[in-house]
Amino acid sequence: MERLILFVYQNRAFFTFLFLELFCAWLIVQNNAYQGSKFFNSSNGLVAAMNSFSQGVRDYFMLSEVNRTLSEENALLKRKISQQPVNYILPNNTLVRDSSDINQYEFVSAKVVNNHVDMVKNFITINKGSDDGIGPGMAVVSPLGVVGKVKLVSDHYGVVTSILHVDVMVSAVLKRTEYFGTVQWNGKNPDQVELNYIPPHVQPTVGDTVLTSGYNAVFPEGVMIGVIEKVDLSKDALFYDIKVRLSQDIQQLSWVTVVKNNRGAEQDSLEQIIQKLER
């Protein structure tokens, strides 16, 4: 305290000058309309800029909560959509409401707590497990596209086999031609996967959209996978060499949705029975 008083005393001339300058400026602003309006307009702009900056800082630190809320809302909306009958229009323009797909899928929002993209077999850890109804084999998606499949679960966590895993294959379909193939990662570019088993007569083009086909019991039909980025066909090759850019940047994952197919076990069981009978 003594040092502060000594500092003020030693610089009393400067502080007196500063006080008088501020007092003069206040008199000018108070007694002149033009200067007063300029001052208040400038001060209002400064205050608005400071308020905008402080609000931006608050919004940044609230992003995690906002993302959590949006993810849960997204899962809820998907659940509601899955509970509605699908409409089909017959050739005679008759509308048919098919209720067979009602409640086939359930959706659970989860936060990504660990993620790898630098190996050939990558995994993602989420903060939901068996206590939340999550189980092995369930599909994992994001608002932008396919993410992977649940591999293992504990009570509160789940490990997801990423689509960036060389052993993961996803049944896919070209939206434009409705021809199906299989999407698989080659272990190289984390932004790109390969679409296999597309024969020459299909003629895929750069920019074509690739979706899940729904031909297995894991992923629902029509989930976005990506867009064709490169198409090659070697001489005498049976299939195209197609590169697909993923719609979801796996490195940027924050929140995902786990999809449970309530009729998946029934489908798998029936397909396994027919495979055994055909052997």
CA separation for the pair 274, 123 (Å, rounded): 32
Say which CATH class 110-279 falls into.
mainly beta
Mean pLDDT, residues 227-252: 92
Q: What's the confidence (pLDDT) of residue 29?
A: 62
For 62-141, where are the alpha helices, taking DSSP H only?
63-82
Percent of the chain with pLDDT over 90: 35
Q: What's the confidence (pLDDT) of residue 90?
A: 40
Inform me whether the pLDDT recorded for 57 exceeds 70: no
Percent of the chain with pLDDT over 70: 71
CA separation for the pair 250, 114 (Å, rounded): 12
Closest CA to 165 of 107, 226, 122, 208: 122
Closest CA to 141 of 259, 260, 262: 259
State whether residue 214 is helix, strand or coil: coil
Mean pLDDT for the chain overall: 79
Mean pLDDT, residues 215-234: 90
Query: What is the pTM (predicted TM-score) of this model?
Result: 0.65
CA separation for the pair 226, 228 (Å, rounded): 7
Query: pLDDT for 13-50, tens place per residue?
Result: 887 878 877 777 777 767 776 655 665 556 555 655 66
Inform me whether the pLDDT recorded for 78 exceeds 70: no
Inform me whether the pLDDT recorded for 102 exceeds 80: no
Higher-pLDDT residue of 265, 117:
117
